[in-house]
Structure 1
């Protein structure tokens, strides 16, 4: 159109057909060029829109490359800065929430052990004393009551151990995972394990590994319909540094397109607290595979 305006070409009055076609073609070319320029100029906004609709703070680290004109580039920088702030705030709030959750679990486990557990133990002793002085026809019934009370006491102790993994604090991660595998190897489910001796990861990281394993085994026992679970804790080395990997694989029905529930989101939140990488997907040959990659702190070595 600029060429038409500045060129030596003149337009007749009235406009003849040839001149009308030239003007129409020039106008069409101008519109196509403007549309192409707008498309190129607004492409960064399209990327920004897609990122806004798909971003997940439980999968951090995704940032947009700053491109485009000054205004669009500034908008992308502001968006990246907002993501930095949101991820930091979410990590801090999640840390506080999980710390409060662990404290509450510790308190409940302590009360179950110290109060209800001791009360049931006293009941068992009293039942034994009464049974010893009861005529034989009633003694069998009292023994049945004793057995029911003992089963209830065992269940309370099991719940307390799940709420507060004392073996993790006393004997370490490897022993705690062995005990966890043995606990879930019941009711038709077999948990096989291979546990390497790992470097000191710190209390928080070891608790995250234990809780993720516990959540995976609980989900498998309740929902997967699996018969076998393979639990592996292994030392790894990579270009980015040493790490410890927890891998849990079952032969159940798999995820079958089910949305992530509170348990899986809780595992992702715990992983973020220690800078770990959590992946959940289908296992080779069927079932589900969960991998947790925990970096080893600086100063520790994986041999």
Structure 2
């Protein structure tokens, strides 16, 4: 009994066996395919009445050529079928973009290549999750910095300009007649600067979004855009949207803001349509302009829009053709039980 107690249990050979690597598995797959083809050809040659002389006669050459062609054809068909998933995998590697999720290869368990494809899809899932997490942290830090700058502009620079404006008003009242006109011009310049500071602060921190809700914020955004650019905006805003989270509302607002900024800077449009409506199981933001259109250059603005859309699992499409304007559509999927909001939380 003591001898038995002192023995260590031996692991079974199957437990010690390590899984084969993809390279080893692919080697054995090709080896078995070629072995199968050669075995089949040798069996046919052994069972057939055909014989080969030494040296080979001219009448026997066609038989050998046909046998070789059959073996090569069978080998090519089997190899092509077995390695077909590698072509799809290569194409996905060339076009993969972490900002355009759900681009995967469907695999049907094709042996070891199916395992390779499943591993590649799992790697893309991990990369997208890491990219989404890092983007969320970066955008959260960006929003916090925007709010800090907006507060400083409003509380410090805005108040300082207000004090200067009041001082100039008192100076105008006490100044000689020949200086009043000049001081009045300076006061108007300071007033315009104060208005610009307030507009910048509103763009950095959409207080109306927090206070009055998404629909009011979109109306204010469209009004500010028209006032600055002179381009009229047709608004199609559904006041009974399904309720979404605060993060989703902020993403919708920021993407609409970026779209209108791009229209003002690049589109040379005469009309813009801003639509925010409920679709089938989704909320859809749709912005169309009649500007010059053209190829889309995905700079920092467009990449930022795609990153924000990725954070909430939304689908962002941008279509633009020369002389037909630009069409931007953001589709945000919703849960079936989302309650109805009246435009204000």
Fold match (TM-score > 0.5): yes
Unaligned runs of 5+ in 2: 1-40
Per the alignment, do residues 15 and 295 of structure 1 end up closer, same or farther by CA in structure 2, a change over 3 Å counting?
closer
CA distance in 2, matches of 1:27, 1:251: 65
1:243 Cα deviation (Å)?
2.2
1:74 is aligned to 115
1:274 is aligned to 312
1:160 Cα deviation (Å)?
0.6
CA distance in 2, matches of 1:272, 1:257: 22
CA distance in 1, matches of 2:290, 2:198: 30
1:287 is aligned to 325
2:75 is aligned to 34
1:181 is aligned to 222
Instruction: Give the greater-gyration-radius structure (CA).
Output: 2
1:232 aligns with 2:271: no
1:199 is aligned to 242
CA distance in 2, matches of 1:194, 1:123: 42
CA distance in 2, matches of 1:227, 1:56: 34
| Aligned pairs, number | 298
1:97 Cα deviation (Å)?
0.7
Unaligned runs of 5+ in 1: none
Residue among 148, 168, 175 paired with 2:209: 168
Kept after mapping to 2: 8 A contact 1:251/1:286:
yes
2:24 is aligned to none
CA distance in 1, matches of 2:206, 2:109: 53
CA distance in 1, matches of 2:205, 2:163: 23
TM-score, length basis structure 2: 0.82
CA distance in 1, matches of 2:105, 2:215: 41
1:68 Cα deviation (Å)?
6.2
Kept after mapping to 2: 8 A contact 1:117/1:153:
yes
Structure 2 counterparts to residues 241-256 of structure 1, below 5 A: 242-254=281-293, 256=294
2:86 is aligned to 45
* Per-residue Cα deviation, 1:120-153 (whole angstroms, up to 9, x for no partner): 1111111111121111111111111111111111
Quick check: 3-12 or 160-169, which moved more? 3-12
Residue among 266, 269, 279 paired with 1:223: 266
